[in-house]
Amino acid sequence: MGNISAVTDAEFEAQVLKSDKPVLVDFWAEWCGPCRQVAPILDEIATAHGDKVTFFKMNVDENPVTPSSYRVTGIPTINVYHGGEVVKSIVGARPKAKLLDELAEFI
């Protein structure tokens, strides 16, 4: 899982929704091939931009409440939260350049 911490349903509000800075949450599962493709890319982005954005991963199989409350129906889904709200949602795997482009306003 690299240098991105896991977040659970129980911790989500305190760690993500109440954060002072933007928070990127990668909703993923062990069995998801595209999730495994995106993981090292997100690790690289987190290493480079972790000072501006907090990065978390949430296993949708172990934490079903939060994904369903945010209508996460496909994985990987990358949501960016700021001020307790979803401000960006990216569904599906992307190459690093495309992800950086889509996240440019936050990083």
Q: Which residues are catalytic?
A: 32, 35
CA pair distance 87, 37, nearest whole angstrom: 24
> DSSP 3-state assignment of 27?
strand
Q: What are the tokens at 45?
A: 């982005």
- Rg, the chain, Cα only: 12
Beta bridge partners of 89: 79
Q: Strand, coil or helix: what is 63?
A: coil
Residue that has been written with the tokens 């002072």 in this structure: 20
